[in-house]
Amino acid sequence: MVIATDRPHRGARIEGVDEATTELMVCVVARQLRDGQVVAFGLHADAMLSAAMLAQQLHAPNLHIRHGLRAERGMVFGAAAWTDRRDDDSWRRVEYLEAHDAILRVANPDSPMRFCDVFFVGGMQIDREGSTNLIGLKGADGRLAVRGPGSIGTTSIGTLAAELILFSPEHSPRRFVETVDYVSVPGWKRRAAAGLEGGPRLCVTSKAVMDFHDGYMRLRSVHAGSTIDEVVAATGFPLLLADDIPTTPAPSDAERRALATLAAGDSAATNPTATNSTRRDSIPADSTTTDPSGTGSTATSPAAGDSGR
C-alpha cells in the first residue's frame, strides 16, 4: 500500500542527548550504510530512521527501510506506537505494508531473501562481546528484578541480519556490562558457540564509536567533548583500545544540509526521479496488504526523493 503525504520528517530525537550529539550519532550510522541494502529497526528509533534517510539522501538512494509498527494504533514511527499519544501522524510516510506471515517466509537463514541486511538494536545492557539485553535486570538473588520491554523480534532478526549495528544513548557502567543478565541478541562469542558466523559490526553511543576485534568491543573514536579516559571509565568492562583513536569526524556541510532538508520535509529535492509507481512495481504481490488495521505488520519507507507525494 502506498500512502501519500506532504508531512515533513521531523528530524532525529534521542531522549537525554543534545541535538549536536544526536546529529553526530546519526551521521556515524549513515556513513556505514551502502546503496541497495535493506535496513530494519523497531519502535522508538527515530535517530536510526534519520540515519537511514540521511544515507538515502547522500550516497545510498536505493537503500530500503523496514520499520516495525503497531498497526492496531495506526502506522506510526515514534513513541505514539506504544504510548497513549495520538498526535504522531508519521504513518503517512509509510509506502506499503507487509503481512506478518509474509515476513516469516523470508526470515529464514537458508533463504536468499533475509529480512534485512542491516539491523539496528539497542538494549538495557550491552556486554563486551556485543550481546544485548532487552528482557530485564536481575536482582541480588539472581532473579528478574526489573522487567524490560522484551526482545520481541530482535532475537530472530538480529541473528539473521547480515550486519548488526548497536546504538545506545547512554554510555555508563550500568549500560555497558561485562556480561548481560539476559540475552536478546547474541554477540560474537555466543554466536560462535551456536555455530553462527560474525557478530555486531559497530556500537555507537553518545560518547564514542566502538568496533570489535577478536570478538570483543574496541574503542574506535571518541566524540568531541569526551576523552579516552572518560569513555574507558564509563564502560563496565575492559575496553580494547585501537592503536590510533581519533575524534569522531563531525557532520560535514553536506550532511548538515541533508539533515536540514529532511527536517524540513523537502527530501524530494535531491532525487526527483524516484517515483511511487516504480517502487510499487517492485513489491511482490503476496507480501503486501491493503488493510492498515491489522496487527503484526512491517512498513517500508520510501527511498530518497520518494516521500510518498
CA distance 177 to 93: 37
User: Which range has the worst mean pLDDT, 9-13, 47-51, 127-131, 278-282?
Assistant: 278-282
Whether the per-residue pLDDT at 91 is higher than 70: the answer is no
**Percentage of the chain with pLDDT > 90?**
49
Confidence (pTM): 0.73
Instruction: Report, as an integer, the average pLDDT of 88-93.
Output: 51
How far is the CA of 240 from the CAs of 166, 197, 218, 237, in angstroms?
17, 21, 4, 9
Nearest in space to 41 (alpha carbons), one of 95, 118, 156, 108:
118
Whether the per-residue pLDDT at 277 is higher than 50: the answer is no
Nearest in space to 67 (alpha carbons), one of 76, 58, 59:
76
Instruction: Report, as an integer, the average pLDDT of 34-45.
Output: 82
Whether the per-residue pLDDT at 301 is higher than 60: the answer is no
Instruction: Report, as an integer, the average pLDDT of 264-290.
Output: 36
CA distance 84 to 211: 37
Nearest in space to 204 (alpha carbons), one of 36, 25, 67, 32:
25
At residue 41, the pLDDT reads 79
Whether the per-residue pLDDT at 303 is higher than 60: the answer is no
Task: Write down the CATH number for the domain with range 19-301.
Answer: 3.40.1080.10
Residue 195 backbone zone (phi > 0: left; psi -120 to 50: alpha; other: beta): left
Q: How many CB atoms lie within 10 A of CB 4?
A: 13
Nearest in space to 24 (alpha carbons), one of 226, 207, 272, 217:
207
The end-to-end CA distance of the chain, in Å, is 13
At residue 114, the pLDDT reads 60
Q: Which residues share a beta bridge with 240?
A: 218
**DSSP category for residue 83:** S
At residue 151, the pLDDT reads 86
- All three cell numbers of 47, joined, read 535517530
At residue 71, the pLDDT reads 43
At residue 81, the pLDDT reads 41
CA distance 2 to 279: 9
Q: How many CB atoms lie within 10 A of CB 141?
A: 7
CA distance 166 to 25: 11
**DSSP category for residue 301:** E
CA distance 298 to 127: 29
User: Which range has the worst mean pLDDT, 114-128, 260-274, 286-300?
Assistant: 286-300
Q: Which residue has the higher pLDDT, 46 or 11?
A: 46
pLDDT tens-digit readout, 144-197 = 999 998 887 788 888 878 899 999 999 999 999 999 999 999 999 999 998 888
At residue 110, the pLDDT reads 54
pLDDT tens-digit readout, 190-224 = 999 988 888 999 999 999 999 999 999 999 999 99
Q: How many CB atoms lie within 10 A of CB 286?
A: 11
At residue 1, the pLDDT reads 22
Phi first, then psi: give them for residue 103, nearest 5 degrees. Answer: -65, -45
Q: Which residues share a beta bridge with 133?
A: 125
Instruction: Report, as an integer, the average pLDDT of 20-30.
Output: 95
CA distance 245 to 257: 27
Q: Residue 265: pLDDT band by 50, 70, 90 thresholds?
A: low
Q: Which residues share a beta bridge with 216?
A: 213
**DSSP category for residue 250:** P
Whether the per-residue pLDDT at 257 is higher than 90: the answer is yes
- All three cell numbers of 187, joined, read 554477540
At residue 197, the pLDDT reads 85
Q: Which residues, 6+ apart, have CB-to-CB distance to 116 below 8 Å?
A: 38, 39, 40, 66, 157, 161, 162
At residue 295, the pLDDT reads 30
At residue 161, the pLDDT reads 83
CA distance 162 to 201: 10
3-state secondary structure of 289: strand
